[in-house]
Structure 1
Amino acid sequence: MAAVAASSAGAPASLRAFLQRPAVAIGLVLLIIVVALAVFAPFVTPFSPTKLSIASRLKPPSAEHWFGTDDFGRDIFARTLYAGRLSLTVGASVVLVSGVIGLVLGVAAGYFRRLDPAISRLLDAMMAFPDILLAISLVAALGASVVNVIAALGITYAPRLARIVRASTLVTRELTFIEAAHALGVGTFAILTRHILRSLVSPILVQGTFVFAYAMLAEAGLSFLGVGVSPDVPTWGTMISLGREFMNTAPWLMLFPGIAIVLTVLSLQLVGDGLRDLLDPRLSQNV
């Protein structure tokens, strides 16, 4: 009973210490602000991200248009908020897709010895290619759309999660209580669901925050190169790409979407670092 009480008391203490770290707190606040602005974009700005207004073409930031307008008179603030919706959706979806693929491959490679060589070689081959080149190749093969971008990035980042899952599964598989479960006749499915998967929650959660950030950067890069989603859909990468032509005369076209990308990715990295320190027993003394 004392051990249980100490464990339950230690969790809130660790959580408080997690939130009291300045870098983590700043990252969490930034992330909440970005998500809130994206979700409630229709209530934050009265402008449509796609409505054209030639009379308002290339207006600098003002009280009416906080981030200025582009060469078609579209409000940059509205486009930045709505583009954040797409980027966050893509990032979350990529984490889900890559998490499922990485979990299946990683557990199979780590738990079933006969499958390990083949799966490990496959993961090594996929990780031999730079992420952006592999993503471009997959999008080119599948076609440019939001769904295909999510699928391509999910496949691209799945090996990262699979390698971590495999390593954790290899360690957990050799523990005494797993051997005891085998000796008692516990089935493979029960061992995987009751013991192996539970031990994978922390590493997947931590790595998922970094994959989220990588996916958002990759989506922006694909859109910037013109191989992502349709140019009609506002994305941060597309906005920066279209603003290159007016870099000297209207720098706000590139400035504000760029700031949005930096702040969002930075917030995810800070939160991810904090989660890693909180969930890793070896680093808990430093939290």
Structure 2
Amino acid sequence: MTDIVSPVPASERSKFLRVLLRRKTVLFGLIVLAIFITLAILAPLIAPYAPNKLSIVNRLKPPSAQWIFGTDEFGRDVFSRTIYSARLSLLVGFAVVVLASLIGVTLGILAGFFHKLDAPITRLIDAMMAFPDILLAIALVAALGPSLTTVIIALSIVYAPRLARVVRASTLVIRELPYVEAAHALGISTPHILTRHILRNLLSPILVQGTFLFAHAMLAEAGLSFLGLGVSPEVPTWGTMIAAGRQYVGQADWMTLFPGIAIVLSVLSLQMVGDGFRDLLDPRLRKDL
């Protein structure tokens, strides 16, 4: 039996990209996201100073030609620290999306495809989602110890149930479609059905949810760093920069202003891109575009 999902023709892919880029909000989000990725990758070449270079004589300098974003309480260049912080935020967001997808997609497919596993997995998902995201993340990081690896694991555990619920709901629908029943009747193995017929038809909701999880993970990492539960203090992050700058609000507002703008723009761009993918990949919404 042939697979229900065939490779997307090049013409269809180009049409999809044209429709996607036609939306100004999506185009703006992609441009902003590309700028942050470029800054993060080329940070050693773009940053005028090392992110942890101290210069006490230049502490709390306002933005100027020499100090684009000003300096902090230790004379460190805020601009350099801001673009270096983008590297960590993007790394955490990407790692969380990958790990949370592995956990969430596995749980969602098992719960949606196998009747006996549906109840226990659903109860586990509901129990995890009963806790506020940030509180559960704080509890996990506090239990495991603050570090970059711990933050990624904790946030992956926190956000995996969200993806699992979406995957489970979609799997319940796909499982009852005629081509899946025909595959069962022809004696095709269950792993083959799960990978070739179920998983391939779940790529659209997984892609959409992945962009949203990316944004949530970056925001949560900044929140944990702000509370002192993120990575080591010497590693520049947007959250720790804002936490340090709150003591100088009114005296050196730039210490919190520029990292805050970076967080808002990065999260907003991901949300815009996610909305665009959702509208184009959902047949009910695509016809209105």
Q: TM-score, normalised by structure 2?
A: 0.96
Give the equivalent residue in structure 2 for 1:142. Answer: 144
Alignment match of 2:253 (pick from 251, 254, 259):
251
Q: What do you get for the CA RMSD once the two structures are aligned?
A: 1.3
Q: Which amino acid aligns with 1:155?
A: I
Give the equivalent residue in structure 2 for 1:95. Answer: 97
Offset at residue 46 of structure 1 (A): 2.3
Give the equivalent residue in structure 1 for 2:68. Answer: 66
Instruction: Give the alignment of 1:195-206 within 5 angstroms.
Output: 195-206=197-208
Q: Which amino acid aligns with 2:93?
A: G
**Residue 226 of structure 1 aligns to a residue in which SS?**
coil
C-alpha offsets along residues 147-191 of structure 1, whole Å, 9 cap, x if unaligned?
Answer: 000000000000000001101111110000000000010010110
Give me the whole-angstrom Cα distance separating, in 1, the residues matched to 2:206 and 2:162: 10
C-alpha offsets along residues 226-281 of structure 1, whole Å, 9 cap, x if unaligned?
Answer: 11111111100000000011001000000000000000000000000011111112
Give me the whole-angstrom Cα distance separating, in 2, the residues matched to 1:85 and 1:128: 32
Give the equivalent residue in structure 1 for 2:268. Answer: 266
Instruction: Give the alignment of 1:32-51 within 5 angstroms.
Output: 32-51=34-53
Q: Greater CA deviation, 13-22 or 175-184?
A: 13-22
Offset at residue 7 of structure 1 (A): 6.7
**Residue 217 of structure 2 aligns to a residue in which SS?**
helix
- What percentage of residue pairs aligned between the two structures are identical? 64
Give me the whole-angstrom Cα distance separating, in 2, the residues matched to 1:8 and 1:147: 39
Offset at residue 283 of structure 1 (A): 1.5
Give me the whole-angstrom Cα distance separating, in 1, the residues matched to 2:42 and 2:215: 21
Give the equivalent residue in structure 1 for 2:3. Answer: none
Structure 1 segments (4+ residues) deviating >3 Å: 6-11
Give me the whole-angstrom Cα distance separating, in 1, the residues matched to 2:15 and 2:185: 38
C-alpha offsets along residues 94-115 of structure 1, whole Å, 9 cap, x if unaligned?
Answer: 0011000001100110001000
Give the equivalent residue in structure 1 for 2:215. Answer: 213
C-alpha offsets along residues 107-166 of structure 1, whole Å, 9 cap, x if unaligned?
Answer: 110001000000000000000000000000000011000000000000000000000110
Q: State the number of aligned residues.
A: 283
1:223 aligns with 2:235: no
Give me the whole-angstrom Cα distance separating, in 2, the residues matched to 1:8 and 1:77: 41
Q: TM-score, normalised by structure 1?
A: 0.96
Give me the whole-angstrom Cα distance separating, in 2, the residues matched to 1:121 and 1:55: 58
Q: Greater CA deviation, 277-286 or 197-206?
A: 277-286
